[in-house]
Amino acid sequence: MTPHDASDGTATEICFDPSGLTPAQRTGRACVVCGKRWPAPPVRVGRVAGGGAVYACADDAPVIERARAFTAT
Ligand SMILES: [Zn+2]
């Protein structure tokens, strides 16, 4: 974590609970929504608590965004 991180989009990223994810999802190698590993999920949708970025399919990323909007209010 650097000071720069606080001023860009990463500060508002969704933080996923790693206990609910497979090892492949935790490391960004599988879609966090459907678990598909191929094609590799292209959309960064958040990160694991204490870990790296997690990704979703182009089709599944909007689901995450909607879920975030729903829970944020
Ligand atoms: Zn997916």
| pLDDT of the residue at 12 | 73
- Using 50, 70 and 90 to split pLDDT, how confident is the model at 46? very high
| Ligand 1 centre distance from Cα of residue 41 (Å) | 7
Higher pLDDT, residue 1 or 23: 23
Cα gap 55→72, rounded to integer Å: 20
Of residues 3 and 68, more confidence is placed in: 68
Average pLDDT over residues 6-24: 77
To which H or E segment does residue 70 belong? helix 61-71
In degrees, rounded to 5, the angle at the alpha carbon of residue 62 between the alpha carbons of residues 34 and 67 is 85
pTM value?
0.76
| Sheet order of strands, 53-56 included | 14-16, 43-48, 53-56
Considering the chain, what is the average pLDDT of its residues?
Answer: 84
**Residues whose CB is under 5 A from ligand 1 (ion)?**
31, 33-34, 36, 57, 60
